Amino acid sequence: MLHFSCDRCGKGLLLDEDVRYEVTIEVKSGYDPLEITREDLQKDFSAEIAVLLKQMKKKGKQALEDGVYKIFKFDLCLQCQKEFIKNPLPVKSKQELPERSGFRNGQ
């Protein structure tokens, strides 16, 4: 038998709750199309590629994957779903943010 519990508060979901909510959070690197010029196509990128490969070897496989794509899946109870949709990305206080963070939130 499957057992679900709320990943936020730990409450049992199938017996204690009438409804269960699934949350999927996908974090992936943004893609901005490159502008490739004729000069770019004529460059020799061997040295640059060698440097990139060296940097990649220093990082672990998981760190490389996490830098590009990560998915999270959670189950929530009704109360936690209500709280989550009100504020899915809780922000740090202004004191915790770096000066040029882009934090706006009406401030």
The binding site for Zn ion (CB under 5 A) comprises 6, 8-9, 11, 77, 80
User: How buried is 17 (Cβ within 10 angstroms: 0-12 exposed, 13-18 middle, 19+ buried)?
Assistant: buried
Residue 55 or 79: which CB sits closer to Zn ion? 79
Find the shortest distance in angstroms from Cβ 83 to Zn ion: 8
Q: How far apart are CA 28 and CA 15, in angstroms?
A: 35
Find the shortest distance in angstroms from Cβ 75 to Zn ion: 9
Residue 20 or 103: which CB sits closer to Zn ion? 20
Residue 1 or 19: which CB sits closer to Zn ion? 19
Find the shortest distance in angstroms from Cβ 6 to Zn ion: 3
Residue 9 or 50: which CB sits closer to Zn ion? 9
CA geometry: angle 83, 70, 36, nearest 5 deg: 125
Contacts of 26 (CB under 8 A, 6+ apart): 69, 70, 71, 72
Find the shortest distance in angstroms from Cβ 71 to Zn ion: 21
Q: How far apart are CA 103 and CA 92, in angstroms?
A: 9
